[in-house]
């Protein structure tokens, strides 16, 4: 996918559910995530000077006004969830204070993230395949052990690996079928190609059928978890 302003902008979102709680998480992702954090975070070190994947205590400010005392961590690309620079701000979980911290991120140069945009960026940057991206929402919405186990296995990439192997087998089969067709045009007994193609077709058919029970279980798990 060709990068656009939409996909390269720095985004911000409250990643915890709305409502009151002990802690809320505000997350930034994008090329200016760390710069945005520098503008609103006041601690022993600037966000840009902090070691990656380590938390530090500080304050979120709007001008000279302190909004909240927070824990901030920087996750530098590509070793982050989205594959971009990511900043995570753990603030107190009040509705108003969380909104103010998020608004401070927007005023400092980020834009509001669309629903699912962090996972979309993880997919676009190759941090997960499409089946894993789909599994994220299944994992969040799981309400039974079956749904949770199914989503967790899909998130690990097991289904994606099977589909990748099946795709490679199909490409190989198409190549050999093409060779068999060329051989058929040149000679009247393309036996080796025929034997190989039949064996390959059986192998691909077996692989395809083996995916059916798994997809049925996942569909049933989604229904149970919805």
pLDDT in tens, 75-105: 999 999 999 999 999 999 999 999 999 999 9
Residues 30 and 97 both lie in one domain: yes
pLDDT digits (tens, 9 = 90+) for 31-56: 999 999 999 999 999 999 999 999 99
Greatest alpha-carbon pair distance for the chain in Å reads: 87
Residues 13 and 94 both lie in one domain: yes
Paired sense of beta strands 86-93 and 111-112, if any: unpaired
Residues 97 and 136 both lie in one domain: no
pLDDT score for 220: 39
Residues 16 and 97 both lie in one domain: yes
pLDDT digits (tens, 9 = 90+) for 122-177: 989 988 877 777 778 788 778 888 877 877 777 776 666 776 777 777 787 777 77
CATH (domain of 49): 3.30.1360.120
* Cα–Cα dist 226/214, whole Å: 18
- Alpha helices, H only, 81-190: 95-107, 117-124, 130-141, 145-155, 158-186
**Is residue 142 exposed (0-12), middle (13-18) or buried (19+ Cβ within 10 Å)?**
buried
Confidence of residue 226 (pLDDT cuts 50, 70, 90): very low
What DSSP line would sit under 93-122, residue for residue? E-HHHHHHHHHHHHHTT-EEPPTTHHHHHH
Residues 197 and 220 both lie in one domain: yes
Task: Give the mean pLDDT of the chain.
Answer: 82
| Domain edge (last residue) among 76, 93, 126 | 126
Residues 162 and 50 both lie in one domain: no
| Structural domain boundaries, residue 137 | 131-225
**pLDDT value at 214 more than 70:** no
Residues 118 and 179 both lie in one domain: no
**pLDDT value at 10 more than 50:** yes
pLDDT digits (tens, 9 = 90+) for 99-112: 999 999 999 999 99
């Amino acid at each position: 996918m060709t990068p656009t302003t939409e996909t390269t902008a720095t985004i911000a979102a409250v990643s915890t559910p709305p409502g009151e709680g002990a802690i809320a998480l505000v997350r930034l992702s994008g090329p200016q995530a760390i710069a945005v954090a520098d503008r609103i975070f006041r601690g022993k070190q600037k966000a840009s000077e902090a070691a990656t994947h380590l938390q530090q205590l500080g304050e979120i400010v709007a001008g000279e006004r302190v909004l909240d005392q927070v824990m901030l961590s920087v996750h530098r690309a590509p070793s982050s969830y989205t594959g971009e620079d990511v900043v995570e701000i753990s603030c107190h979980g009040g509705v108003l204070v969380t909104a103010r911290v998020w608004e401070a991120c927007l005023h400092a140069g980020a834009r509001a993230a669309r629903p699912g945009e962090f996972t979309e960026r993880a997919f676009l940057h190759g941090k997960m395949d499409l089946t894993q991206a789909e599994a994220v929402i299944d994992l969040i919405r799981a309400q039974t052990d079956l749904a949770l186990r199914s989503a967790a296995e899909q998130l690990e990439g097991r289904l994606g690996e099977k589909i990748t192997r099946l795709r490679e087998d199909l490409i190989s089969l198409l190549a050999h079928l093409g060779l068999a067709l060329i051989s058929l045009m040149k000679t009247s007994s393309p036996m080796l190609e025929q034997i190989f193609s039949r064996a390959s077709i059986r192998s691909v058919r077996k692989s395809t059928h083996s995916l059916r029970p798994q997809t049925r279980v996942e569909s049933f798990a989604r229904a149970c978890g919805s």
